[in-house]
Every structure is written in C-alpha cells, then in structure tokens.
Structure 1
Amino acid sequence: MSYLRFEKTVMTNLEESLRKELLRTNRSGAYSCSTIVDCNTRKYHGLLVVPVPELDDDNHVLLSSLDATVMQHGAEFNLGLHKYQGNNYSPTGHKYIREFYCDKVPTTVYRVGGVLLKKEVVFQHYEDRILIRYTLLDAHSETTLRFRPFLAFRSVRQFTHENSVASREYHEVDNGIRTCMYAGYPDLYMQFSKKNEFVFCPDWYRGVEYTKEQERGYASNEDLYVPGYFEMNIKKGESIVFSGSTSPIHTSGLKSLFEKEVEERTPRDNFFHCLVNAAHQFHKREKDGKDRYILAGYPWFKCRARDTFISLPGLTLAIDEQDYFEMVMKTAERGLCEFMDGKPLSVSIYEIDQPDVLLWAVWSIQQYAKQVGNAKCWQMYGKLLKKIVDYIIGNKHPNLRLDDNGLVYSDGREKPVTWMNSTANGRPVVPRTGYIVEFNALWFNALKFCAVMASECGEQDAAQRLEARAELCRKSFVDTFLNEYGYLLDYVDGGNMDWSVRPNMIFAVALDFSPLSLDQKKSVLDMCTRELLTPKGLRSLSPKSGGYNPMYVGPQAQRDYAYHQGTAWPWLGGFYMEASLKLYKRTRLSFIERQMVGYEDEMNYHTLGTISELFDGNPPFHGRGGMSFAMNVAEILRTLKLLENYTYQK
C-alpha cells in the first residue's frame, strides 16, 4: 500500500481533491504543479513553468496543461478538467479516475469502460523538460489517444487573454512540433515517443478560472491557446511517453530517459522520505553548474539570504548531505564577502543586506561544526567567521550597529528588517526596531561560538576578547529584554518597549549559547508553551496580545495584516522543540513525537509530501500561503534528527 494514495471517492469529490496540490521541480528553478486531478487552481500552476532570464527573473507558464482523450468506437472520453466562470467544469475527466498514488512519481489510473489507462509524470533533473508516460493496462478493442495542449506563455504573476499578436506558427520536429507564442520566449517542443498525427486546429479556450486567486482577492480568469491536437493509436500493454520542453530531444530515447529519471527519485513511502524529497526540491543549480542555492519555497519565492542560512542545516546536514551544505555555503560565502567588501554581488541571493543575515550565517556554520567537528569547521570557515565578527564589531554594516552596552541595534521603522517582513502602504505591519530580541540572542551565540572555536585553534587572545564582549552582551541582554512576567520583550527602542508575547524569544532558549540562566530559560519556554504552541508550530503572536489575527485569508491587505499577527509557523516550532530537548532532555521525547504527528498529517492534505508556508493560528490550523516552504521542511527534518540523537543517547 502506498503512503500517499487516494481512492476514487476522494478523487471524484472536487471539494477534497482540488485542495490537494502536487509539486515537481527540476532543481534548476523550473517546476511543474497542479492539483492531484490536474485542474489548475492557481495562476502559478502549470505543467511546464520555467525561468526565462532574457525577459525577467520570474518563472513563466509555457505549457499550462495537456488534456488526454480516450477514443473507442467513435466515442470520445476527455480525461481533462478545467474550471470556467460560473462554477462550470468542462470536461469532467476526474470522474474516470480510479485511483491516485505517489511513490517515486505521481501516478493516476483512469477507467473508461473497458479501458484502463495509467499516467505517470516526472520532471527531468536539471532540464526544463516534463515527461508523462501513458500505459494502456487494459482494453477490449482498438484504442486511440488524442492529446490537446493548453498554452499560456506568460509570467506566473500575469494572465494571458485572447489576442491577435500571439503567433500560430508551428514547425514539425521529431514526432511532434515546436511553437512559440511571443517574441522573447523560448520555443516549446512537444514530442512523443511514438509517431503521431498533429492536427492544426487553433482556438482559444476562454474564461478559465483559478479558485485560489479568487480566494486571495486577485483577478482569476484567463484564456488559453490550443494550437491543435496530437493523435495516435495505442495497444494493450503499450507505453507512450510525452516530452514538453524548451529543447528538442531524440524521441527514440524518451522511454529509457523516463525510466532513468524514475530510478533516481526518492520513494515517498513514509514521513521522513517525503521530507527528504521535499528538501531536494529546494535545490537550485545555475545553468553553468557552479553555483548552488536554496530556494526559499514554491511557487513564488526566490533564493533569499536569511531563508538560506536558517534552512541549510536541516535540508542538508539533517539528512547526511554534508557535500551539498558545502556547495551552497561556498556560493553564499562569496556573496557575503562581496557584500562586506562593498562589491557588486556575483551571486543570485536576495536580501543579503538584511541585518540578521550575517548572524544566521554564523548559526548555520555552527550546525556544520557539530557534524564535522570544530577543527574541520574552522579550517573550512574560520576566515569567514572572523570576517563577520570583525565586520559587526567594526560597525561597518549599514543597519546593524554595535552599541557600547554590547547589544546590536537595527532601524526597522521604515522598512522591515526581520523575518516578520510584511508591509502595508509601504511600511512594516510589525515595525520591529531598536534592540531586537533574536538579533541579540544570535549575536551572543555568535560571540561565544567564535570564542570557543578560536580557543580550540590556539588563538587565545582573540578568544578572551570575544568572551569579554559576550559577557557584556549577556548582562545587557537580561537587563534589556527580561521583564517581571518572566518572558522577553520583543524589541526595545529607547523608551519604546514591545510587550507583545511573540515567538522570537525562543531563540534565546534554543541556541547553543544562551544569555539566560536555567530558570529564565524555563520561564520563557513555559510562556511559549502556554500562549504560542500549536500542532503546526509557534504562533507569531499570543491570542492574549493586542491585534491577534490568526486567520490568513481574504484579500492581500487583509492577509498582510494577519501574516505575523497570530499565524503559526512550523520552523519556529523546530527551535521550540530544540529548546525543550535541551532543557528537559529525554522526558520530552514523547511530547515532541506527538508534535510531529501534526506535521505528518500535512503529507496528504495540502501539497503532497511537503509543508505549507504557514498555518492559521486557530483550529483547524489550515495550511496557507506558499505550497512548500524551505525553512519549515528544514526545521522538521532537524527536529527528527535531534529526536534520533536523544532517543539513542545512553
């Protein structure tokens, strides 16, 4: 029995099946995604969605979908599914689905009378090519397949509509055609492993509707162009492979290529393997193969610096992929050094100038040290660690000032400077500014970690100087942030203190080096448990604090105000659980294992096999935002690794 499997009753119930999405990536920035019944519900959905750097830095939907039609005895049975205005669905191919399962690759089995047809989909690694294999499992008479491609050729942030500019021109290629709707786009090659007939029959399908965009308060309708259809016979037991790509392929090799790609996939046969598969989907390799990145998520995220350093240990070290950690860090180190040296960036990493990025980079390297030992870590990253600490001590960062009291100060009044980065009318919704609690917890941790590293590597004078700075920071941290109610202020800017109960204080407990005493750490953790903990991570604001808004729904402005005002974030839950294990060790194992159940439920509920960007802060804790979020997957994987370590401790 497959771990991710849905029977006919689920697939034919659109209330259920349209909520379940499926994501495939090629580790080069392109992706393919839709719902499990192949009905696109987002403008970001598409069968082939690729970057077109010649146009912009967005992804672009080239091939929106491919409708297959089974023909027998002159009767046609279209297996496609599209939603049109007025809540009309046409065709209604989902009613032919017998089952869906996702082991190595997503597989759908259709039954049309005596015809049993299996469809399997895979995205080729490092190539902009979607591959679909159709296998006729059973048929009692002659069967023909017809394939109708729906083309968009537009940015994921826009819509396409019927127009006279779109080119209808096409050219025949090996067992298929190539076409391009607009200048500046690459050609789309649609080819089959078997000789077929292409019938040119151009038309626009008008008023296709995307329900997710409606829910989010956006425009939600577009027209899709269909140039015609491909037709071919298929025999019982025969397989036909379709290739949709920006480059041509020798079709004689399509079947073997499909088999090879399937063989390389991680089976999604349990919770852990689903997360490993999801972790690999965030990998990004540039075309030249040199630079490696971590995408912050799908479908609209870029490679962001903070997300990279927070998610890197969980996505690599926690699953014993140290080599990929080193490759990503090599690229990121170049970017960090260019930033600190005031040089133009040669890396494609966004927001590297955010004030906490350097501090998270140190934390990420600290996790690497635990895996390989301090000596090797110092050998690999000692120069970078010293450069970062000296840069901060020298007050060279444009928005991270080290004050005489040993704390770091950032100005976040006009622009967001922390992970709580939502804006409204150009200003931060949560204007965290001044002495920010997690910045200073990270700074104390960085000083202590670098002091230990320097001491072990024989640099005693440097270690003593860092220890002295850490002690000054520790005293000021407690004096500044700890209040009489036993929790930490979120930020302090002169006489302006934010008493909101927020999860950012958990870092002062979870980090390896904490400025707090044991009793203080327990008090902070208890507050997080009482007011912030949910089955999906920590809330971004306590229900008892003013402005609590836990439901991430409605138009953009409404969602912006809810984004960090009560929604739950699994990645914060990872640090909470690390703090729990550090304070209470094995006595909290069963509690944390129960928390993991809340995440495992997500494997077959929203986007299969991965974790959404955020969740409503109130029951039933629906997943919201991006389909798959790197920091969430990373911290769950890191928690599972911590659980394993504590479970087998003697």
Structure 2
Amino acid sequence: MIDIRFGPQVCTELTSGATREWLVTDGVGGYAMGTVSGLRTRRYHGLLVVAGDRPAVRRVGLVSLDPAVLLPSGARVRLGAHEWASGAVDPRGFELLEQFALVDGVPRWRWRIGDVVIERELAMLPGRACVAVVHRLVSGGPVRLDLAAACTWRDAHGERRADGPAPRVDPVAGGAVVDGAFRLAGPGWVPEGEWWLGVHHREEAARGLNAREDLWYAGRFSGALDRPGDTVSVLAWAAPLDVEPMPATEVVEVARRRNRQVVAQAEPADDVDATLALAADAFVVRTDESPADVVAGYPWFGTWSRDTMISYEGLLLSTGRADLGRELLRAYAATLSEGMLANTADTGRVEYNTVDATLWFLHTVSRHVAVTGDTDLAAELLPALQQVVDAHRAGTRYGIGVDPADGLLTQGAPDTALTWMDARVYGVPVTARTGKPVEVNALWINGLAGLAELTDVTGGDATDLRRLHARAAASFRERYPAPGGWLHDVVDAPAPAYPLGGAPHHDDDSLRPNQLLAWSLPHAPLEPDEPTLRRIAGALLTPLGPRSLAPDAPEFVGRHRGGPAERDGAYHQGTVWPWLFGPYVDACRRAKLPVDDLFVGIEAHLTEYGLGSVSETADGLPPHAATGCPFQAWSVAELLRVRRSGR
C-alpha cells in the first residue's frame, strides 16, 4: 500500500492535521473516525460509533480517550485535544505528535515528551461493534498513563446537551456500562461523572449546522508503562455486553491480518491498487441477519441502491468478492416493484424514487455475469429483469416510460428529481431534468443490449430486445447531438415558460458530464470522437474528476460551501464528482486517447482528505478542495475499476 505517514509539520498544525481524517470500520456499518491531530472536528467523530438495524442509523458512544502522561518528575502532560465554544483549543496534545501513520490500515500516533515516546494504535474487531485502543511505551519511562473516557449515547446526526439527563454509568468488572448501550473495559478504572460543556465542531460550523455538544466524562483508566514494550489498553463494545471480546492487542492484530488478506485477495497490481482495495472494503457491510450491502459514504450516508449499483464492479468484482456480490444482487432483485428497484436509502422506508437505479441494476447484473461467467445467476434473475423492461415499456411511477414515438425513456412528475442529480433546496429540485436525460437513455440502451446478451447465454430469444435496442439507439444518435459539439443533457424537456406536462418542449444543451455514459458504457449508443471529448474536458475536467456543470453556465457555482441550502444549491451546479472520473477514462480509452496522466491528481488526493480513500465531491474552482463525505463508495469504486480495467 502507499506510504501514508505525516511528521510534526502536519501533525502539530491544525490546518493540516485536523483536515486529514482517518477511518476504521467494523464491517457491520459502524466505525471509528477522527483526524490526524486527534482534534474532533465533526459531530460524527468518535472511537465507537455503532450501527443500528441499518447502517444509516448510527449512534456515537465512546467519543474520546484522552491520554495524560505522569512523568517521574511529577509533571502531568495531557495528550488529548478538544476545541471549545469559546474558541480555545485545550489541551493541545497534537503539538507533541512526532508522527501519524496508517500501517496496514491501522492508524498509529506517536507522541514524544523528551525521551519518553508513547505510541497509540486503534482497530475495530471485524464483524462486531468493538474498538480496541492500545498504548505502548516505545522509549523512556517509567511513566503512568491516564485515559479519560469522554462519552455520549446519541444519534450520530445530532447532539447531546447537559440540559438533558446525564448518561447512566453502571460499574462492572474492569470498567463500566454506559446507558446500557456500550461497555468500557481496561485497567485501573476510576469513575468520575461530570459534563464537559461546550465542545465545538469546526466542520459542522462550516456546514451551517449546530456545532456544539456536551460530553460526559465517565471516568478514567490508569496503568503503568514501566519499560519499553509495556502497554495500557482499553476496549469498548456494544451488545452483547456480557460477551467480552479478545484482548485489545489481539483485536489490533486480527484487524491488521484481515486487512492484509483483503488486499491480497484483490491481487493488486501496485501500491495504489492495494490502497484502494482496502478503501473499498470499508463500504462493504454484512451481518448474520442480512446479505452484503454497500454503505454509500462515511460518516453520514447509509445504503442507496443507485450508489450500490454504480459502486458494484469496483468494490466487489475488482476485489475478488463476487460471492458477496451474488447475494447482494439477489437481495436487491427481491425489492423490484412495478419494474423499479427500491431505494431504501437512509429513511428506513422502502421508496421507489429514482429513474436510473434500476437501469444501473441491469448494467450491474450484466457486468457480474460477463466477469464471472455466472450464467446460473443470469438465468435466475432474467425473469425479473425482463419484467423491468416490460414495466418501462408500459409505464411506471413518476411518468417513467418508453415514448412510443422514438423508443427513448422519458420521466418526470411535479416536484421530483429522479436522476442522480437529485438535490433539493427547501423541497424544490435544483436540477429536475424532466424529460429524457442523456445518461438515463444511455443506460436504457446499454441495459437492453446487456439483457439481450443474458437472454442469449441462457438459451432464450432476444429478438424483441434487440429490436427495442436498435430503435432506441437510432433515436439517441439522432436526438442528442447538440450544436455546440457535445450532447444535449435532456431532450424533450418542458420549456421554462410552460408547467410540467405542458407543451412545447425544448432540448437542454447545458454542458454537463452526464453525456459521458453515452460513450463509456459497454453497450454505449455512440462511438466517442476526440474533438468532442476534448471540448468536454476543456470545460469540465479537473484533477479530481469532471465538474457537474461548465463554468461559463449562468447557474455555475464554483464553491461547494456554506449551509445546507447553499451546499445543495451547488451540489450539481459545478461541484466536482470524482466518481465521474471512471466514465471519463472509459470514454477516452474507447477514443484511443492516452489516459495515464489523468490519474496523477486523484491518486495524490489519497493522502489529502479521507486518508487512503476518495472524497464524495470537490469545489469546481481551483484549488478544487475536497468536500462532502471524506470516504465515498462510488468515488473509490470507479477509480479502482478503471485502474484495474486498463491492465
């Protein structure tokens, strides 16, 4: 894997150390997450964040373990870090950090206090909501180490304040149980019990959200570090509380060993591939009660069918996990209704509110069979996939259906945004894209051709599918080329002066990256040409991927910043989306254009924001600072997929 480590120039400076984030996951939807400096900058940061009945329902438990070193001289040196509502940062333990590193995916901090060097490693037990934090004396000593446990038990999207009830802390052997929800265990537990008032989260303030919470100082652990190699360790875990996990040092070794196995299974071609393979693992979740699924992004997203299908090939097929993928595809096929794939998302309700997730599902099944040769799965799912086509021909929810005039898919209903550009501001879609979006019809044409191939390999008759495909492809080639030398983003869109459903219509020639799918998909309707791709690249391409809108458009917003309304308004109006790097590279390859130099910026990004991973979004204007989720599934998946497919 690539070497991710930082010295004191980064670790001790908050604008560097507090803007680089690390992530460790438990494989069932929970995580531990924080910054290189140790300063919590988000309400989502914590050492034990526990998933509920679905990944989006997470609760923060153990927030921090603040070390304090008692030197032989009697001096007490605090190594933690907190920012307060007053603006103060205290303590400032990051100023004593000499190194942070990710070693086989396990974060490691090293503090130096004169000749005393203390190292911390943190890992989660695969398959269980359990975190281990191990402190080891590297040199110097003897010293004593105290670890102050700051706790809460609240929804990861919210805050807990001292004006409500304090967490209940019940003593148990070797530690305590907090709010009956999670258990702490370690040496020398001493209960304390007081509020730490006014903890400030600078990233939440920047996002226009409530940035303050209060933490409960539940107690402290304490142990001696007499000679180099001695350790003081703490475990924290959720239910079952009476089943104590393995020792903390073993948890770290188990996690490290599993991370190496994940990388080896992916058979990486180089260190970047290895890093991305481990990054991909964070998004694949599975419990004893449910099949494999994909978390769209950390720290705030759950599972979304569109994201899952776009991510599928990179996360599962490129990493040697087709067995998990098979069960995932079966589970998603079971959600089909009226020809549409469910988008359960983060609400807990089964919703059918996308036009493209189902079409991505057709693509994903085709790719699974093409890569694995799994014709048994093709035969099993083929009836459901044919029903998708039949439902789209007949018409389904939200006006989604095949236009008999040209064989293309149309869609739209009042106050809906059904494509991946689905942001809303105060309930109003920013880019409704009613009509016939370009990528939707590229996916429709690709899906018909892929389904015809699946029908062939399972011994069926694909004549009707090929007829549908040929008509839609011919209409696409006729309808989508725009005068500017690129493709219309939407054809047959309602004219601005007319309400939805009224005539006349117009064709939207906004220069957006959605058209890339018309050249990048396996059964794309168009063959790419160099002049068109160069026009698109000139307007849209950045080091982290294409912008969502050309900068010369009146609606262009160059910074993805501010409160929720400002950020949502910019989300698809110029913001960069790294997942679109994959379709752009595919289109360039089909046009026989060189692509190796395209990877330089996005690969360098692996050490800039979410460490070892790829962000959800970035600013459309230089320096293209990363925004959104630091760890995003489809961003990682598409980079990994196109790197692997180019070899």
TM-score, length-scaled by structure 2: 0.91
Look up the match of 2:564.
556
Q: Give how far 1:515 is off.
A: 2.5
- Match of 1:222, SS? strand
Asked if the contact 2:2/2:275 (under 8 Å) is kept, the reply is no
Q: Give how far 1:2 is off.
A: 7.0
Asked if the contact 1:305/1:351 (under 8 Å) is kept, the reply is no
> Quick one: which of 609, 630, 647 aligns to 2:633?
630
1:221-232 correspondence runs (5 A): 221-232=212-223
Look up the match of 2:590.
582
CA change 1:547–1:396 in 2 (3 A) is closer
CA change 1:344–1:364 in 2 (3 A) is closer
In 2, Cα distance between equivalents of 1:572 and 1:417: 18
Deviations 1:363-385 (A, max 9, x none): 11122133123745633533333
- Match of 1:85, SS? coil
In 1, Cα distance between equivalents of 2:158 and 2:191: 27
Look up the match of 2:303.
303
* Consecutive unaligned residues in structure 1, runs of 5 or more: 181-185, 645-650
In 1, Cα distance between equivalents of 2:448 and 2:570: 35
Asked if the contact 1:490/1:498 (under 8 Å) is kept, the reply is yes
CA change 1:568–1:380 in 2 (3 A) is same
2:410 maps to 1:418 = no
Q: Give how far 1:412 is off.
A: 5.0
CA change 1:97–1:503 in 2 (3 A) is same
Between stretches 93-102 and 486-495, larger displacement belongs to: 486-495
2:480 maps to 1:486 = no
Deviations 1:394-441 (A, max 9, x none): 324454111102011110541110100110121101121011111111
> Quick one: which of 557, 566, 579 aligns to 1:571?
579
- Match of 1:565, SS? coil
2:141 maps to 1:149 = no
- Match of 1:607, SS? coil
Q: Give how far 1:327 is off.
A: 2.3
Q: Give how far 1:476 is off.
A: 2.0
Look up the match of 1:369.
369
Asked if the contact 2:195/2:217 (under 8 Å) is kept, the reply is yes
Letter aligned with residue 514 of structure 1: A
Asked if the contact 2:147/2:221 (under 8 Å) is kept, the reply is yes
Q: Give how far 1:456 is off.
A: 4.2
Look up the match of 1:110.
111
Between stretches 524-533 and 622-631, larger displacement belongs to: 524-533
2:185 maps to 1:200 = no
* Consecutive unaligned residues in structure 2, runs of 5 or more: 264-269, 494-503
In 2, Cα distance between equivalents of 1:436 and 1:625: 25
2:227 maps to 1:217 = no
Asked if the contact 2:548/2:573 (under 8 Å) is kept, the reply is yes
Deviations 1:180-213 (A, max 9, x none): 1xxxxx4321112xxx332222211111111101
Q: Give how far 1:634 is off.
A: 0.6
CA change 1:395–1:204 in 2 (3 A) is same
- Match of 1:514, SS? coil
Asked if the contact 1:612/1:627 (under 8 Å) is kept, the reply is yes
- Match of 1:568, SS? coil
Asked if the contact 1:611/1:633 (under 8 Å) is kept, the reply is yes
Q: Give how far 1:252 is off.
A: 6.9
Look up the match of 2:499.
none
In 2, Cα distance between equivalents of 1:632 and 1:342: 22
Between stretches 474-483 and 331-340, larger displacement belongs to: 331-340
Look up the match of 1:648.
none
Asked if the contact 1:21/1:607 (under 8 Å) is kept, the reply is yes
2:255 maps to 1:261 = yes
In 1, Cα distance between equivalents of 2:369 and 2:349: 24
In 1, Cα distance between equivalents of 2:381 and 2:554: 43
- Match of 2:224, SS? strand
- The alignment's C-alpha RMSD in Å is 2.5
In 2, Cα distance between equivalents of 1:377 and 1:508: 27
CA change 1:507–1:2 in 2 (3 A) is closer
Look up the match of 1:448.
449
Look up the match of 1:540.
548
Q: Give how far 1:352 is off.
A: 4.5
Look up the match of 1:504.
514
- Match of 2:591, SS? helix
1:78-157 correspondence runs (5 A): 78-104=78-104, 105-140=106-141, 142-157=142-157
Q: Give how far 1:275 is off.
A: 1.0
Between stretches 229-238 and 296-305, larger displacement belongs to: 229-238
In 1, Cα distance between equivalents of 2:644 and 2:89: 45
Deviations 1:258-295 (A, max 9, x none): 3222211239993222211111100111352x321011
Asked if the contact 1:339/1:352 (under 8 Å) is kept, the reply is no
Letter aligned with residue 619 of structure 2: D
Q: Give how far 1:521 is off.
A: 4.8
In 2, Cα distance between equivalents of 1:257 and 1:86: 38
Identity of aligned residues (%): 28
Letter aligned with residue 235 of structure 2: S
CA change 1:593–1:86 in 2 (3 A) is farther
> Quick one: which of 236, 243, 255 aligns to 1:244?
236
Look up the match of 1:183.
none
Look up the match of 2:500.
none
Asked if the contact 2:284/2:315 (under 8 Å) is kept, the reply is no
CA change 1:15–1:23 in 2 (3 A) is same
In 2, Cα distance between equivalents of 1:307 and 1:343: 10
Letter aligned with residue 454 of structure 2: M
Look up the match of 2:277.
276
Letter aligned with residue 481 of structure 1: Y
Q: Give how far 1:523 is off.
A: 5.0
Q: Give how far 1:344 is off.
A: 11
- Match of 1:275, SS? helix
Asked if the contact 1:100/1:109 (under 8 Å) is kept, the reply is yes
CA change 1:28–1:597 in 2 (3 A) is same
Letter aligned with residue 44 of structure 2: Y
CA change 1:207–1:628 in 2 (3 A) is same
Letter aligned with residue 425 of structure 1: Y
Between stretches 559-568 and 481-490, larger displacement belongs to: 481-490
Look up the match of 2:36.
36
In 1, Cα distance between equivalents of 2:569 and 2:465: 40
